[in-house]
């Protein structure tokens, strides 16, 4: 894989709470230079002139502990403001309590609020879940009409993406859904390990450093 091919698998991200318009402008410019798949920003930065790049935003982020109707309304507003892809934080407490019908219903509400063609990724916060809970979360998201499973917000103290979690997610969804590895991916070795484990997208704010390790 060369630099351009890897960049096309990356959502170039600026989601720190202290991010400013200057940070977002830099993100867009860097994304164009590197040839990333898309740029991922908080919904307060929408509408965003991404100069032709895919616009990714987040919903219920980072805790996931929002009312379902608030997440749905946030998703609808994001789509109206030009987002092409929405990364939704799952209700982790519901998942830990095995309230899977409620987890699925919430995801379905967000899916219903989005126009057809808008990609919905569900962030399951895999580092905070057992293997059995990861599998159940994937099933709940798939049943609700999600397009992708995303490992992590990158803000949970339990940690971010792991090779084990990505492999388990990929084996569970078996290509029916995409797999996005995100959270703590800062080097080429880490990104490559996630891709080899089954990730079809990488979320990172360290894109420049990662792709710089590859040939043009």
13, β-bridge pairs: 40
* 96 is an active site residue: no
Nearest to 50 by CA among 87, 16, 12: 12
* 180 is an active site residue: yes
Cα–Cα distance measured from residue 86 to residue 58, given in angstroms and rounded to the nearest whole number = 6
Instruction: From the candidates 11, 71, 121, 180, give the one annotated as an active-site residue.
Output: 180
* 11 is an active site residue: no
179, β-bridge pairs: 149
Instruction: From the candidates 11, 71, 87, 121, give the one annotated as an active-site residue.
Output: 87
**DSSP character for 116?**
T
3-state helix, strand, coil in the chain (%, to 5): 45, 15, 40
Structure tokens at 26: 């830099």
According to DSSP, the β-strands at 54-59 and 85-89 are: parallel
**DSSP character for 129?**
S
Task: Tell me which residues are annotated as active site.
Answer: 87, 150, 180
């Amino acid at each position: 894989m060369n630099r351009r091919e890897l960049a096309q698998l990356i959502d170039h991200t600026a989601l720190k709470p202290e991010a400013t318009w200057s940070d977002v402008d830099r993100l867009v410019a860097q994304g164009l230079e590197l040839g990333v798949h898309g740029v991922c920003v908080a919904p307060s930065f929408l509408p965003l002139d991404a100069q032709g790049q895919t616009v990714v935003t987040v919903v219920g982020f980072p805790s996931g502990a929002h009312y379902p109707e608030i997440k749905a309304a946030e998703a609808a507003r994001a789509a109206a403001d030009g987002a092409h892809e929405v990364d939704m934080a799952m209700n982790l407490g519901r998942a830990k309590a095995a309230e899977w019908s409620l987890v699925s219903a919430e995801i379905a509400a967000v899916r219903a609020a989005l126009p057809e063609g808008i990609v919905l990724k569900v962030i399951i916060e895999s580092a905070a879940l057992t293997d059995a809970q990861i599998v159940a979360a994937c099933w709940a998201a798939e049943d609700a009409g999600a397009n992708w499973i995303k490992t992590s917000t990158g803000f949970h103290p339990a940690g971010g993406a792991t090779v084990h979690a990505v492999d388990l997610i990929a084996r569970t969804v078996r290509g029916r859904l995409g797999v996005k590895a995100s959270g703590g991916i800062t080097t080429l070795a880490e990104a490559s390990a996630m891709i080899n484990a089954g990730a079809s997208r990488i979320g990172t704010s360290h894109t420049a450093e990662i792709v710089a390790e590859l040939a043009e």
